[in-house]
Chains A and B, each alone.
Chain A
Amino acid sequence: MKFNFRRFLAVFKARNIEFFRDKGALGWVFVFPMLVTFGFSYLFNLGDSGIYKAATIGDSLAPKSELIQWITYSDIEEAKNKLRHHQVDLLVDFTSKPLTYYMNSTSPNSRIAEKVFLESRSPISISGITKIAIDGREIKYIDWLFPGLLTMNVLWMALWGVGWVVVRHRKLGVLKRFKASPLTPLEYLLAQVCSRLFLLVSSGVMIFIGGHLIHPFVTEGSYLTLLLIYTLGCLSLSSIGLVVAARLTSEEFANGILNLITYPMMFLSEIWFSLEGSSETTQLLAKFMPLWHMTSSFRRVMSEGATVSDIAPSLYILLGITVVFTLLGAAMFKWNKD
């Protein structure tokens, strides 16, 4: 039977009504990410610890100081980026001759860290030092965290909003009733995915605006690129939900499977903390997660101003996951237990 847009639209509308009348789900989707953003914004603005972070290339000569915490980097460009975004207060390249240090002229903390560093060295050694000032806007932890909170919300909403809902419809007998009608599996499944996409995009935009009002985020890149990443991320995660829901009839079992997928994905996708410094295997594993591609692309666009071509590999991966899992889900789908 041919794809019929009217049938698709009927189920799409029904699913939207179902969601918007479920006050609990509605509140969770909109309020939870805002509360987390607000909470973190508050916590991370409580005040400085009084210890300055300095990046170092070659740390053997780094002077000991109670006021400076040294973090070693192998890539100077990466370290400069951190300094540019105020993620470290100072960068010292001990491998260069003459010894060179970089400070961020727009950061008060960087000026203080510079003074602390210079005073920790003898007057003789100070004379042979080169200073390079760079500038750049501050990116706080909350700026880094926010894209993760947004994508984590998508993870839960897409997987449960599609996977769990389809299983519940099957268990209740809704799918059995639909099966006795001309509705096709593809029409039903696409309606579920598109309804979820509609809700996720609208809630995502509202959360983004709300989050920006609570804490004005730095967004260097294009909002359209962000929307593209967000949409592909939603579709790829929803399509994984389709495969989970293709045949299951038990909500409890579906919960278990969905948890098995979400928790590792959440921890490996740098939602709360960076995987810098973790093992190569862990970092490689992360690259298999659609959520990692979504989150890291989002961060790159927001903080570095990355363009579509910069993040193209991640976009292709998200698109590939969407196509493969949607087709797999449709092929495996059963309306009811035969």
Chain B
Amino acid sequence: MTDIILEIKDLFKSFKDIHAVNGASFKVTKGTCFGLLGPNGAGKSTTIEMVEKITSPDSGVILYKGEKLEKDYLNNLGVQFQQTALPPMLTVKESIEVFRNLYPNPKSLEELITLCQLGSFVNQRHDKISGGQRQRLLLALALCHNPELILLDEPTTGLDPQARRHLWDIVRDIKSSGKSVILTTHYMEEAFELCDEIAIMDKGKIIAKGTPKELLSIHFKNSIIQIPPGKTYDEIKSRSDLGEIHIKDHLLEIHTENLNDTLKFLTTLGLDLTGLNIRHSNLEDLFIHLTGKELRS
């Protein structure tokens, strides 16, 4: 029996002259969270939509548990779209009931209300609730039939920190119950927290793939020293032998492979070390490193 729940091989999809997905391949292991990251327009949502059977690929293969997508595949798939609409005029409770009745073995209404913390607004119309409450409702709809594979397309957009962490807990619970999640997000901290494996997409291609730690260790061997604004900025910037130096968020950042020598040099400048911060590279650094700094549409 395979541990791979979903496998995507050489997926291509074009819209007129635009190659939205250009040969994407990856595998999702059972009981894990797979993160699909990338700038806007990278092809993440199109890839997800092909897995959801919303869009058909031009070529390539999608296998669920080693088989081509069968008719009852959608019974095993939970979906939370980035943007979606529900049948108008319904309350939160009625919306859940509609979707529960579309599947053979749904979770109970009470379980879903508790799981996604919908109790305080369950009788309100779904078009009258806040953005965060709406995201929780959409998550409830994605989970209402206890699916094996859950696709979450930017599920925490618009959520406050408490709600975001609550969703993280739900994702961890899903994983621990042996089910799998494919997550797209723009929050790198979230991807690092939740994802066992990530793929970074750009221009329709997967440009990096692996566990977050593997990818960071492959792409970054250095530490980052962050220095608050001061008189010594110009002197430090002139020392290109220290490593890559640039200003980010009003802080001078030195990406160095030799932390000890760099710190020794900084002390020779008589630099006030109060406010100095040393950190390791994170997923956001990796993301920028791989996809560049130019703004995407």
A residues near B, CB below 8 A?
A: 1, 6-7, 9-11, 13-15, 17-18, 21-22, 169, 172-174, 176-183, 335-336, 338
Contact = CB atoms under 8 A, between A and B. Distances in A.
Given A1-B71, A1-B72, A6-B101, A176 B84 contact: yes
A174 B86 contact: yes
19 contacts: A7-B102, A10-B99, A11-B87, A11-B98, A14-B98, A18-B89, A21-B89, A169-B87, A172-B88, A174-B85, A176-B54, A176-B81, A180-B52, A180-B74, A180-B81, A182-B74, A182-B103, A183-B102, A338-B56
A180 B54 contact: yes
Contacts of B103: 181-182
A17 B89 contact: yes
A180 B85 contact: no
A303 to B, nearest CB: 40
The 10 A-B residue pairs whose C-beta atoms are closest, nearest first, are A10-B101, A172-B85, A173-B85, A21-B89, A180-B79, A14-B87, A18-B89, A181-B102, A180-B52, A174-B85
Given A15-B87, A180-B77, A183-B102, 10 more contacts: A1-B71, A11-B98, A18-B87, A18-B88, A21-B89, A176-B85, A177-B79, A179-B53, A181-B102, A336-B54
A221 B22 CA distance: 68
Nearest to A168: B88
- For B77, B89, B94, B98, the residue with the greatest tally of chain A CB atoms inside 10 Å of its CB is B98
A183 B86 CA distance: 14
Nearest to A174: B85
B55 interface: yes
B223 interface: no
Contacts of B71: 1
Contacts of A182: 72, 74-75, 102-103
B54 A173 contact: no
Interface in B38-66: 52-56
Contacts of B85: 169, 172-174, 176-177
B148 to A, nearest CB: 14
B267 interface: no
Contacts of A10: 97-99, 101-102
B83 interface: yes
B236 interface: no
Contact of B53 (A6, A22, A173, A180): A180
A21 B87 CA distance: 12
Range, interface on chain B: 20 to 34
Contacts of B77: 180
Contact of A174 (B56, B87, B101): B87
A177 B86 contact: yes
Contact of A7 (B54, B81, B89, B101): B101
B286 interface: no
B89 A177 contact: no
A179 B97 CA distance: 17
A15 B83 CA distance: 21
- For A11, A21, A181, A335, the residue with the greatest tally of chain B CB atoms inside 10 Å of its CB is A181
A96 to B, nearest CB: 66
Nearest to A13: B98
B90 interface: yes
Given A21-B89, A173-B83, A338 B55 contact: yes
Nearest to B125: A21
Nearest to A336: B54
A181 B99 contact: yes
A99 to B, nearest CB: 68
- For A1, A11, A14, A21, the residue with the greatest tally of chain B CB atoms inside 10 Å of its CB is A14
A290 to B, nearest CB: 29
A338 B54 CA distance: 8
A14 B74 contact: no
- For B53, B54, B71, B83, the residue with the greatest tally of chain A CB atoms inside 10 Å of its CB is B54
B90 A173 contact: no
B191 to A, nearest CB: 23
Contacts of A173: 81, 83-85
Nearest to A165: B88
Nearest to B88: A18
Given A176-B54, A179-B53, A336-B54, A14 B84 contact: no
A17 B79 contact: no
A18 B97 CA distance: 14
Nearest to A7: B102
A281 B118 CA distance: 63
A178 B71 CA distance: 15
Contacts of A176: 54, 81, 84-85
A21 B124 CA distance: 13
Interface string B101-142: 111000000000000000000000000000000000000000
Contacts of A180: 52-54, 74, 77, 79, 81
Contacts of B90: 14, 17-18
Contacts of B102: 7, 10, 178, 181-183
Contacts of B99: 10, 181
Contacts of A15: 87
B55 to A, nearest CB: 6
Contacts of B81: 173, 176-177, 180
Contacts of A335: 54
A198 B97 CA distance: 21
A223 to B, nearest CB: 33
A174 B99 CA distance: 12
A241 B54 CA distance: 24
Contacts of A13: 98
A9 B79 contact: no
Contacts of B88: 18, 172, 174
